[in-house]
Structure 1
Amino acid sequence: MANTSSDVVQLGEYKVEKGKSSVSGLSSGAFMTVQLHLAHSASFAGAGVVAGGPYRGVETFRGAAPLAEDAYELNALQLCMAPLLPELAPDARRSLQLAQEAEQAGKIDPLSNLRDNRVYIFTGSKDSVVQSSVVAQTRELYRLLGLSDANLSYHDNVPAGHSLITDNPEDSELDLNQPPYLNNGGFMQSHRILNHVYPGLNPPAERLSGRLLRFDQSEFLNGQQACASMGKFGYAYVPRAVEEGAPARIHIALHGCKQGYSYVDFNFGREDIANQPPYGNRYVTTTGYNDLADSNNIIVLYPQACGSDDDQAQNPDGCWDWWGYTSDEPDNPDYYSRNAVQIRAIHAMLTRLGG
């Protein structure tokens, strides 16, 4: 086990290799992974997308509702997750066009940074939450961005439900589509992601040497806590060798909906504390990222989204914002750029750590 304490610490700076960071996520964390990867491509060497769609996919069909903000949400719930026909999934070419527009407007880093990146993409063949036709468009987007097939690791033949896969006997059966969205498939998917992004890693540590740190995320939100829908705390795993000065890389691991440490159900806009699911921080401690990171001098950053259901942010399931709920301009939401509140906060955490 990692050394932990009840202290809330301030993130420190380490000897991090610039431009060698990476990011991965499941579900809403996967959609956010793509957004963060494109927005700050200069910072990253690769990404892992598990059940996530292409960049700005909610803007595929603006005619879904009379009001633009309703169209974004409807597209998120329908076309970007479970389109009735594969042809209705968000189109990679439209996604590329929107990315190019954001680049020309100076809202994201140059897309040319991505060409040599290594990206792992996965969709379970039993996933009924984010269907495989949507994830296939994510692979096509990265192809259009210039990534070679050698750098793209795409998997769609595992009979998994909507989940990050582990080899933990305590986790759900492989084909299930239900919280906490951690399914036992006999392998650690986090290891496959990191091994693809960083070829030649050492085997995972049998015993963790480092510390799991708890830090206050509000420091990175510039007073926008009310609309950010992010938890009070975030976490970071720091191997002992890194704390002692060894060169490091950083991996950002983004949980999916209903997976943050502070997730609770909402009933009629109020937190249902009495029926809080016992998911805790399993995404932080049981998904295998720390074991492989420990033996390879990788810092793992675990930002945390939280549920909210009020007039500031309607996000009861604690999802990352990939359709615009954090924006104060609902007709033209800026959820995908370097200036988006969640992307800005996560990148500030990465910068603080040295990446």
Structure 2
Amino acid sequence: MTLINVQRNLALSIAGACSVVLLSVTSFAAANPTLQALNIDTRQTSVSGLSSGGYMATQFQLAHSEHVVGAGIVGAGPYYCALGQIGIALGQCVNKASSSITNTPFLAQYETYLAEQKLAPRDSLQDDRVVIIHGTNDTTVNRTAANLLAEQYKQWLPANNVKYINDEAFAHHMPTESYGSKCEVSEPPFLGNCNYDAAGTILSFIYPNIQAPPDVKNSNTSADSALQVSTIDLSDLTDLSATSISDDAFIFIPENCAQGKRCRLHISFHGCNQSASDVDRQYAQHAGFNRWAQNNDIVVLYPQVKKSMFMPLNPQGCWDWWGYTDENYANKSGPQIKAIYQVMQALGKE
């Protein structure tokens, strides 16, 4: 029988405590109707990500746009910017900007993958909606790279389906309304207290008809703290070997979704140095997605990447956007993309 590790924060009347419980699917469903009761429409999936997670969000969207309806990309550059080499990634896709960087080789690789059927068909991307956020104080990913990403999406999608926010004074982090470090600095947990609801901006653009949560202004800390995330074992849903993806992932399941209501799925990819080993569950708990998800029946999955000082060399726990897993990292055959797709399918029972 499949086993699922579930970590629930239980609010106690005197003090808070966490209880990690190992239960079978059957007994877990009886005691807590969450994963077993999920009724997810995977063809209404959306993705988001910060930094390396932003690169991964684009890669996953292009690989599976027949399922993904939109993406929110914060502090990242164009698809295939690294050209499969870490040296190129560091030379033109992060804080340095090569004077010769253009979209020409990146778009050429996109066309090659399309011809090889390693990405979703071009037509399936046409109705997607995308938000790109790059702050004026972001010195980690250069503005040239962010502009090239916006140009790619404007070439692939109708103009009204792309929203590029590039005039806000954010550093390299996920901007929130009231949680995290000062907005002008980039430091752990890489959440910026910017009086700006980036998660809400992303979700409300991707899903135009969703409703804002009550008292959305100045409520980020208390609202997010009240909506606790759980921990699930992704290795029960797919093979994670050679992916650098951690077995444990965070998940937020709204009450209606836990009771079997038809729900959508949002997958949010953390940035480098932002996995559970660095910031615990702060990104999953406080990025701002959960309160919108609670109000609009959206399950939010936060997969995690493991750090490694050996092969594959990934000392900062980044998602693979330069090829540390294998040469297919940016298409549907890539180990990380394939694993997350299988998790998505498992959650949707397709």
Alignment TM class, shorter chain as reference:
0.7 to 0.9
* Cα deviation 1:74-108 (Å, max 9, x = unaligned): 111121112345x434x333322211111111212
Partner of 2:77, secondary structure, is coil
Alignment of 1:227-266 (within 5 A): 227-263=242-278
TM-score (normalizing by structure 2): 0.85
TM-aligned CA deviation for residue 13 of structure 1? 6.1
Where structure 2 has 5 or more consecutive residues not aligned to the other structure, the ranges are 1-7, 11-17, 26-34, 216-222
Given that 2:90 and 2:96 are in contact with CA atoms closer than 8 Å, whether structure 1 keeps it comes out as: no
Query: 1:156 is matched with which residue?
Result: 166
| 2:120 paired residue among 90, 106, 109 | 109
Query: 1:302 is matched with which residue?
Result: 302
CA pair 241-281 structure 1, distance change in 2 beyond 3 A: same
CA pair 293-2 structure 1, distance change in 2 beyond 3 A: farther
CA pair 78-179 structure 1, distance change in 2 beyond 3 A: farther
Query: 2:150 is matched with which residue?
Result: 139
Query: 1:286 is matched with which residue?
Result: 286
Query: 2:338 is matched with which residue?
Result: 344
Given that 1:103 and 1:109 are in contact with CA atoms closer than 8 Å, whether structure 2 keeps it comes out as: yes
Query: 2:94 is matched with which residue?
Result: 81
- Percent identical among aligned pairs is 31
Alignment of 1:1-355 (within 5 A): 5-7=19-21, 11-12=35-36, 14-59=38-83, 72-85=85-98, 87-89=99-101, 91-145=102-156, 147-169=157-179, 171-204=180-213, 212-222=229-239, 224=241, 227-263=242-278, 279-310=279-310, 312-327=311-326, 333-354=327-348
For residues 233 and 19 of structure 2, the distance between their equivalents in structure 1, rounded to whole angstroms, comes to: 14
Given that 2:97 and 2:142 are in contact with CA atoms closer than 8 Å, whether structure 1 keeps it comes out as: no
Q: Which shifted more, 312-321 or 106-115? A: 106-115
* Cα deviation 1:180-231 (Å, max 9, x = unaligned): 211111022111110110112112257689763311123355261xx32222
Given that 2:97 and 2:144 are in contact with CA atoms closer than 8 Å, whether structure 1 keeps it comes out as: no
Partner of 1:58, secondary structure, is coil
Partner of 2:266, secondary structure, is strand
The residue type paired with residue 180 of structure 1 is: P
* Cα deviation 1:313-346 (Å, max 9, x = unaligned): 100100000101112xxxxx11112121111111
The residue type paired with residue 193 of structure 2 is: N
Partner of 1:52, secondary structure, is coil
For residues 114 and 8 of structure 1, the distance between their equivalents in structure 2, rounded to whole angstroms, comes to: 40
